[in-house]
Structure 1
Amino acid sequence: MFARRRPYFIPGTSVLRNNFGITHAPTLAHVEFVATAGRMLQAHMRPDTHDLDVCHLHQHVFGDVYAWAGQPRIVELRRGEQTFGPCAQIRHRLAEVHADICALARDGRGLDDGALSFRLARIYAEYNAIHPFREGNGRTGTLLLHLLAHRAGRRLRLDTVTRDEWISASRDSMPSRRRIATNGHADPRPFVAILKRSLDQGSGAVR
Structure 2
Amino acid sequence: MINRYDAEGSQSSYEPGSDEQVLANKLGITDPQDMDDAELVLLEKLYLSVLIEDLPDRQLTIQDLADWHRRWLGNLYPWAGDLRSVNMGKGGFTFAAAPQIPRLLADFERDCLRSFTPCNDCTDEELIKAIALSHVEFILIHPFREGNGRLSRLLADVMAVQGGRVPLDYSAWEEHKDAYFAAINQGLSCNYEPMEYWVRRALLD
Partner of 2:195: 191
1:107-118 superposed matches below 5 A:
108-118=119-129
16, 20, 23: which one aligns with 1:16: 23
Amino acid in structure 1 at the alignment position of 2:99: A
1:41-120 superposed matches below 5 A:
41-49=48-56, 52-53=61-62, 54-99=65-110, 100-106=112-118, 108-120=119-131
Aligned residues: 190
Partner of 1:123: 134
Q: Distance in 2 between matches of 1:88 and 1:123?
A: 21
Q: Distance in 2 between matches of 1:140 and 1:146?
A: 10
Q: Distance in 2 between matches of 1:32 and 1:78?
A: 21
Report the Cα offset of residue 85 of structure 1. Answer: 0.6
Report the Cα offset of residue 88 of structure 1. Answer: 0.9
Q: Distance in 2 between matches of 1:77 and 1:58?
A: 18
CA deviation profile, 1:101-120 (whole Å, cap 9, x unmatched): 122114x2232111211111
Secondary structure, counterpart of 2:120 in structure 1:
helix
Partner of 2:153: 142
Partner of 2:36: 29
Task: Report the RMSD for the aligned CA atoms in angstroms.
Answer: 2.6
Unaligned 5+ segments in structure 2 are 1-7
Unaligned 5+ segments in structure 1 are 201-207
**Closer/same/farther in 2, CA of residues 160 and 25 from structure 1, 3 Å limit:** closer
Secondary structure, counterpart of 2:166 in structure 1:
strand
Sequence identity percentage: 25
Q: Distance in 1 between matches of 2:47 and 2:13?
A: 23
CA deviation profile, 1:118-139 (whole Å, cap 9, x unmatched): 1110111011111111110111
Secondary structure, counterpart of 1:110 in structure 2:
coil
CA deviation profile, 1:55-90 (whole Å, cap 9, x unmatched): 122112212221111111111101111111100111
Aligned partners of 1:173 and 1:189 also within 8 Å? no
Amino acid in structure 2 at the alignment position of 1:192: E
With the length of structure 1 as denominator, give the TM-score of the two structures.
Answer: 0.79
**Closer/same/farther in 2, CA of residues 155 and 75 from structure 1, 3 Å limit:** same
Amino acid in structure 1 at the alignment position of 2:161: H
CA deviation profile, 1:10-56 (whole Å, cap 9, x unmatched): 35741211121223333323222222222233222225248553212
168, 177, 183: which one aligns with 1:157: 168
71-80 or 28-37, which moves further after superposition? 28-37
Amino acid in structure 1 at the alignment position of 2:52: M
